[in-house]
Structure formats: C-alpha cells, structure tokens
Amino acid sequence: MNRRSFVAAGTAAALFGTAVPSGFTQDTGSAKPASRFKLKYAPAPGMFRNLAGDDLFDQIKFIHDQGFGAIFDNGLMGKSPEMQEKTARTLTDLGMDLGPFVLYADFGAKSFVQSSPDTRQMLIDKAKQGVETARRTGAKWALMVPGRYDESLEWDYQTANVIENLKHCADVCQQGGLTIVLEPLNPHDHPGLFLTKIPQAYQICKAVNSPACKIINDLYHQQITEGNLIPNINRAWSEIAAFHLGDNPGRQEPGTGEINFKNIFRYLHEKGYTGVLCMEHGIRGKGKEGEQALLDAYRECDNF
C-alpha cells in the first residue's frame, strides 16, 4: 500500500540540520520532560528523526517525552509481526495509543462500488488481515478507502454496493474488536475516487449501521473539498472516530496555511473528544530546527 508516499517523501526532505532545539541539552541530546498536550496528537514514525535518532523506539520515547499521547503508522500492516508486537509493547509501557493504520486503500481499483462476489470476498479477506494486525498491536481503528467510482454505473447503485460491502467488512472487524474508519479524499489531489465528502461518509455509515464502521475526518482534504470544517464535524459527530491533520495549502504543520487549528482543537476539546489526531503532513522547515518548529506549532495550537 503506497497510500502516503508523498508524505513520507516530504518528511524525509525535511530531516536535515544541526541546530539544538529548546528542551534538549547540548551534552547529552536527551529531551527534558514536557507537559502533556490537551488532545491526543499523533506523530508518524520518522517525523522527529533528527531530534530522536533513527531507531523507531527511541523516536516513540521522544514523542512521549514531548507530551504526545499517541503515534500513528499508515504502513503498520506491512511490518513484521515481531516489529508490530514490539511496537505495541512499547506503547503500552508508555501509556500511549496507536492511531488508525491503513487496511485497504487502492486508488486505482473500482472495488467497493462493485457487487461481484469475488470483489466482496477480497474485501472480507482484507478485513480479516486487519483483524490479525489489530490482535498483535492492540490497534482499534483501520482505515479503508472505497476506491474509484464507476462511470458506467448509476451513482445510487454504487452507493448501495459500497454500503453492502462495508456491512460484510464491518461484521468481520466488529468480531475482532476493530473499527473501520472511512476517509473521504479531495478530488483535486485524488481525482476519480468515490468518497469525497463528510456528509457522504456520514450517510454511508448511518446506512451500514455498525459500531465498526465510522469516519476519519482529514481536515486537509475537507478544507479543499467543502470547507465549513467545524459545522461538518458537529453534524457528523456521532460517526467520526478519528482525525487526520494537515494545513492547506501545502499539507504541512498547523500555522503554515489557512486552517484555524487552534479554534478547531478548542472545539474538539470542549466536545470531549479523546480520540487520536494523526499528524499526517510534512514539515515546512529542515533538520532539528524544522522539527522544533513543528513542536512549537502544536504547542501554540494546543494553548487554548
């Protein structure tokens, strides 16, 4: 699954430099404990490679020490069972959560919109693989993208097929304690995909009518597609299980674009949101200074 290769590339491009940030000692390079964030923002592996080193578990400890309560790893399913289990143990020891991993996101396939038995069985098998990953890692959420729409089939038939296929996948996931999160994606970056808007995802989740089928609201995508972020969060609240973060334009950290993240974070905090907010974005700056600026941006937006 090569779903977020551009994010990884953007992050890698931002990981060079030598400045020593505040919160570190020049002699040891060890982080001083930081206050906890009010919300559960979740960095990705590699996001603080310059500050924390190349080792994944040093990075997780650094992320914890900076006040974060979670990480997310889109590529979790592709890692060895041993690495998955070690990651889970580390997070448990630190009292941290694991955000949604990518279970199925084929942007080139007309998958969920089809009613063929073979397609349905493929999706059910994927769901079973996701449950196995969840059992090893303790993950609670797995991301699915319904794929491309079919120009030759009436839209309402496609919607009905998506709902029916999701019912089968949700049944598998619910038995395994896993929740599917559907991600609407903007049609400018990803033309041709079936699911693009929060109201559309809300309608589908209501029709599936399962606690194992919810929404992940990517604020970057929805700022492009429909805007009106807080009202749409409010209207779809019962079906939203997680968030992706990224400012627009540029898909970098809060404060680099037009989204008022401080107001959104305040709103989520006042609503009592305790789930994960995955930091699925690049970094504007370079090296240690860029990574420190990223930390400072989240501190500022969390200061409400």
Catalytic, out of 239, 253, 280, 291: 280
Measured CA angle at 257 (ends 251, 261), to 5 deg? 95
Position 44 scores a pLDDT of 98
Q: How far apart (Å, rounded) are the C-alpha atoms in residues 63 and 175? A: 32
Q: Is 151 known to be catalytic? A: no
Reduced to 3 states (helix: H, G, I; strand: E, B; else coil), residue 181 is strand
Reduced to 3 states (helix: H, G, I; strand: E, B; else coil), residue 16 is coil
Q: Is 280 known to be catalytic? A: yes
Position 33 scores a pLDDT of 57
Q: Supply φ then ψ for residue 183, to 5 degrees.
A: -115, 110
Position 81 scores a pLDDT of 97
170 contacts 183 by C-beta, under 8 angstroms: no
Domain ranges of the chain: 5-301
Q: Which residues neighbour 15 within 8 Å (Cβ) at sequence distance 6 or greater?
A: 46, 49, 50, 283, 286, 287, 290, 291
Q: Per-block average pLDDT, block size 10, for the chain (304 residues)?
A: 42 36 38 82 98 98 98 97 98 98 98 98 98 98 98 98 98 98 98 98 98 98 98 98 98 98 98 98 98 98 98
Q: How far apart (Å, rounded) are the C-alpha atoms in residues 267 and 233? A: 10
Catalytic, out of 183, 239, 253, 291: 183
Position 96 scores a pLDDT of 98
Q: Supply φ then ψ for residue 148, to 5 degrees.
A: -85, 155
Q: How far apart (Å, rounded) are the C-alpha atoms in residues 66 and 70? A: 11
For the beta carbon of residue 5, count every other beta carbon within 10 angstroms.
Answer: 11
Q: Over the Cα atoms of the chain, what is R_g?
A: 19
Position 58 scores a pLDDT of 98
Q: Residue 124 is encoded by which pair of tokens?
A: 């059910």
CATH architecture of 5-301: Alpha-Beta Barrel (3.20)
For the beta carbon of residue 167, count every other beta carbon within 10 angstroms.
Answer: 15
217 contacts 244 by C-beta, under 8 angstroms: yes
Q: How large is the angle between the packed helices 155-175 and 117-137, nearest 10 degrees?
A: 40
Reduced to 3 states (helix: H, G, I; strand: E, B; else coil), residue 103 is strand
Q: Supply φ then ψ for residue 50, to 5 degrees.
A: -70, -35
User: How far apart are the two ends of the chain, measured CA to CA in Å?
Assistant: 37
Position 7 scores a pLDDT of 40
Position 147 scores a pLDDT of 98
Position 34 scores a pLDDT of 81
What is the secondary structure of 46-108 as a DSSP string?
A: TTTHHHH-S-HHHHHHHHHHTT--EE--TTGGGS-HHHHHHHHHHHHHHT-EE--EEEE--TT
